[in-house]
Amino acid sequence: ELYQATTTAPVNIAVIKYWGKRDAKLNLPTNSSLSVTLSQDDLRALTTASCSPTFTEDRLWLNGVEESVATSSRLTACIDNLRQLRAELEQENPSAPRLSTFKLHICSENNFPTAAGLASSAAGFAALVRAIADLYQLPQSAKDLSRIARQGSGSACRSLMGGYVSWEMGEADDGNDSLAEQVAPQSHWPEMRAAVLVVSAERKTVPSTAGMQATVATSALFRHRADVVVPERMSAMKRAIKEKDFEAFADLTMKDSNQFHAVCLDTSPPIFYLNDTSRACIRFVEELNRSAGKVIAAYTYDAGPNCVIYYTVENEEIVLGALKKCLANIDGWRERDAALAASLPE
């Protein structure tokens, strides 16, 4: 007797960044955030969840390597929540098999570097939650499941619905209103593209959880960002997306990436996620926009040196052409490191 479900989840790259928790256990953020979901052709997590009365403990394999479930409070939070929902379903349907009483085996694989600032935890936890929810045949919506994925990794809550997704920070102490919401489906702005430049596939120097805790505790700029800047940017970004205003979208995206890295620098001790290659890519995009006479590309960086460049399909040749030429001149860049993943459409 074996029950099984397999699913994939996409990577999302924030254009308004989540950085700071007001509750570290429930993963409640100090500001709302907004992301674009990338195409699953290039970057995704693939997860199989199975359960059986013969399994003796919950187990998880990540890219073939077993990880401890019991010692990860994030994993157990997700699993406990999903099991609870299944138990409720079983109570309402006495004929449903008692899956909530069986142990789980979960197998997850990424097709991109783990913890290199490429949102692997986001896709990973989103796929895990989706796979178990499918296995349990839960009726909950993606929005409801985002509440659970959030407890695995904050950014994971934005990987469950596709397209342009906001994570509304909420106010409740129990996190009930800290949920993801689709701002627009991918089909609303199908011209959008993302190129991912893998500057380094190494693990990040400071994990995001530790980094954001240090920022909240020590940065003087941080409060201003969370209280004043981000709320304004969230509404401006939603408007830019609704109106498909690329220049506004790009301007906000670059400013928010730069401010996020500025609060990292304002943290004590300072956190450096960008390297020389990252900074060269920033100069490249700024120069490209200047020479085009308008904003045709936007860079953004998460907690690592890898660059994501957003542009629209009409400028694909200009952007990717210039990028390839420029990469050849960037010190420290090797062609074989390049993962030019033109992304987005599902």
Q: Which residues bind ligand DP6 (CB under 6 A)?
A: 14, 17-19, 27, 33, 121-122, 153-155, 208-209, 302-303
Is residue 36 a contact partner of residue 17, using CB atoms and an 8 Å limit? no
- Quote the least distance from Cβ 324 to ligand DP6, whole Å: 26
Q: Looking at beta carbons only, is 50 or 253 nearer to ligand DP6?
A: 253
Determine the residue with CB nearest ligand DP6: 154
Q: Residue 278: left if φ>0, alpha if ψ -120 to 50, beta else—which one?
A: alpha
Q: Looking at beta carbons only, is 85 or 165 nearer to ligand DP6?
A: 165
Q: Looking at beta carbons only, is 14 or 116 nearer to ligand DP6?
A: 14
Rounded to whole angstroms, the maximal C-alpha distance in the chain is 67
Q: Looking at beta carbons only, is 270 or 321 nearer to ligand DP6?
A: 270
| Structure tokens belonging to residue 91 | 């109570």
Is residue 69 a contact partner of residue 58, using CB atoms and an 8 Å limit? yes
Q: Which of 346, 340, 316, 317 has its CA nearest to residue 328?
A: 340
- Quote the least distance from Cβ 307 to ligand DP6, whole Å: 13
Question: Could you say which DSSP state residue 195 is in?
Answer: E
CA distance 337 to 34: 28
Q: Looking at beta carbons only, is 29 or 311 nearer to ligand DP6?
A: 29
Orientation angle between helical segments 316-329 and 276-292, nearest 10 degrees: 140
- Quote the least distance from Cβ 170 to ligand DP6, whole Å: 14
- Quote the least distance from Cβ 106 to ligand DP6, whole Å: 18
- Quote the least distance from Cβ 259 to ligand DP6, whole Å: 12
Q: Looking at beta carbons only, is 209 or 275 nearer to ligand DP6?
A: 209
- Quote the least distance from Cβ 18 to ligand DP6, whole Å: 3
- Quote the least distance from Cβ 146 to ligand DP6, whole Å: 13
CA distance 19 to 296: 27
Question: Could you say which DSSP state residue 163 is in?
Answer: S
CA distance 150 to 157: 5
CA distance 221 to 238: 24
CA distance 51 to 248: 48
Q: Looking at beta carbons only, is 153 or 289 nearer to ligand DP6?
A: 153
Q: How many residues does the chain have?
A: 346
